[in-house]
Chains A and B, each alone.
Chain A
Amino acid sequence: MLGFLIRRFAAGLATLFVIAVLSFCFTRLAPGSPFSSERQLHPEIIKAYEEYYGLDKPIYVQFWRALRGYLHLDFGPSTMYRGRSVNEYIEPGFAKSIRLGLLGAAFAFLIGLPLGVFASAHQNKALDHAAMSVATLGICVPNFVLGPLLVLLFGLTLKWLPTGLWPEDGSLKELSKLILPMITLAMVHIAYISRLGRAGMLDVMNKDYIRTARAKGLSERTVYLKHGLKNGITPVVSYAGPMVALVLTGSIVVEKVFAIPGLGQHFINGALNRDANMIMGCVLVYSSLVIALNFLVDVAYGFLDPRVRVS
């Protein structure tokens, strides 16, 4: 088991390294310089910039320096925000994004799972179709349309909810700023989760042990909730890992629409302003998270299913 874990962990690190190399190349290949402005700068000013950021050094030296920084979780100086480090942006940004992401994921489970189970209990009846249609709608509206629509409806027209910014404190009034971003973020995952939940339940309910339970004369309700649910939602649970990562990256749009200074905002601003260190920092944080989640899923499976360890 330990060997399996070590192998998986090493593979994760290797993946991260390759991602770092690839992203580094991409940031250097991208057209446009972080220092271009409306006027072509005088060469002496460009030289000053390049010296200041060490961009006059050979590329492998730059990469080596960057890599050394990453080992100490130091992503280097931002070229967009002069005199600031990328960490100053990524750390608070990540804290916000992950909180919003977890909130969105929790909400997606809370709504999606019951919806799926409910639909499976009424397979191929009108209620099933209705529930699944509602769920599928979530995949059909791009979240950059859904967000503004929710703002228009609940913020500007009904004036029920605030339309953006990060909460100032823990008061209920401030926290309500997160409701609309949370719904926008969760919508697409509600759709996926309910579909997975429905399919998982249908799968399980045809299994022999369920028939046995029924044959024992247990009530349909008990069979469904006690025996069915426990195993039926396994596909949903295994979706949880990748979903948290998806929710995080999905927050790029949501953060823009709701003016939340999260990681996604910094990533997009970094990409648009050719802030290589900012891009690298965001990519590595995102990737580490995805890899870590995959690792956890692997470990969980490893415990559950001994055969995986061998393969």
Chain B
Amino acid sequence: MAAPLELVADVQSRSPGRMAMRRFFKNRRAVICIILLAVVGSATLVVPWVTRHDYRESDWEYTYGKPNGTYWMGTDALGRDLMVRVFLGGRISFAIGFLATAVSVIIGVAYGATSAFAGGRIDAVMMRFVDILYGMPYMLVVIIIMSLTESKSVLIVFLVLGLFGWLTISRIVRGQVLSLREREFVEAAKALGVGAPAIIWRHMIPNILGPVIVYTTLAIPSVMLAESFLSFLGLGVSEPETSWGVLISEGQQSLERWWFVTFPGAALAITLFCLNSIGDGLRDAFDVQQK
């Protein structure tokens, strides 16, 4: 029994992945973006660690300071070094982006797969619920929840963003599972008497992985953007902690001081650009159908 199954799994799960990766690495834009993203990412880890400035410490003699030899990216309204704040803010933005997406991917995959496997009435009810949430202006809910919560810790921000970001992925996963269920190799496995868990593990997951990875890479930047929107509304991370969203919405208030918005803005833009390009590259490589 085991041999043919191995064969099926081998053909169906591993080689498409490998081929996709080969296609992906041929895409020069995506590869450059991976390198760029790695540079920005490691800077957020390294820079605050090596710098002489504390992110909370104010230089009252140099508030609103232009970039100079001491402060390479200038200082903010409180005379705090912007460079360390930009990179520390980056850590938080990355954390929110990745963790919130992880939350929504986990919920979305579980929900979508459950719905598809349950089928029938349960499926209909579960998907109707997703439709309802879709019809709800999601920012309203986020705004209300953000103002309901007693504290504005980073944890809350990514939980809230994550809890409302799973709708699309659940639909994708459900669609994938439904179509896979009908496909020949699954039928074949079933005919061979393979149990449901094994089918899920060996066939469903590898085939769903592509779309999920693509979706995840594209979801991270949109979560990061949502975080900046929340900050713009004053519902983001609170002082003295900061994030790119907070820094940008502060900088946007004084565009005349170009360094306020330029550095965090550039960092965010580069990151979002890279993540989107990588996502596009992955989509091309995995040949994921457009919604």
Measured CB to CB, the residues of A under 8 A from B are 11, 14-16, 18-19, 22-23, 26-27, 29-32, 124, 129, 132-133, 136-137, 139-142, 144-145, 148-149, 152, 195-196, 199-200, 203, 235, 249, 252-253, 267-268, 271, 279, 283, 286-287, 290-291, 294
Contacts and interface: CB of A to CB of B under 8 A. Distances in A.
Contacts of B185: none
A14 to B, nearest CB: 8
Contacts of A144: 228-229, 232, 249, 252
B227 to A, nearest CB: 10
Contacts of A18: 132
CB-based closest 9 A-B pairs: A140-B272, A140-B269, A235-B290, A287-B135, A140-B273, A144-B232, A286-B137, A15-B132, A142-B228
A163 B291 CA distance: 37
A141 to B, nearest CB: 6
Interface string B247-291: 011011001000001000100111011001100100110000011
Interface residues of B, number: 44
B136 A287 contact: yes
A283 B272 CA distance: 30
Given A140-B273, A145-B252, 14 more contacts: A11-B128, A18-B132, A31-B147, A31-B148, A129-B28, A136-B273, A139-B222, A139-B272, A141-B269, A142-B225, A142-B229, A152-B255, A268-B233, A294-B135
Contacts of A124: 27
B269 A148 contact: no
A30 B136 contact: no
Interface stretch (B1-9, B138-146, B153-161, B187-195): B138-146
A277 B265 CA distance: 37
Nearest to B233: A268
B136 A22 contact: yes
Given A11-B131, A133-B29, A23 B140 contact: yes
Which of the listed residues B132, B135, B232, B245 has the most CB atoms from chain A within 10 Å of its own CB? B135
Contacts of B245: 142
B140 A267 contact: yes
Contacts of B248: 142, 145
B72 interface: no
A287 B137 contact: yes
Nearest to B27: A124
Contacts of A26: 140-141, 144
Contacts of B143: 271
Contacts of B132: 15, 18-19
B54 to A, nearest CB: 28
B19 to A, nearest CB: 16
A15 B128 CA distance: 8
* Most A C-beta atoms less than 10 A away, residue of B28, B222, B229: B229
A26 B143 CA distance: 11
Nearest to A199: B290
Nearest to B273: A140
A23 B131 CA distance: 15
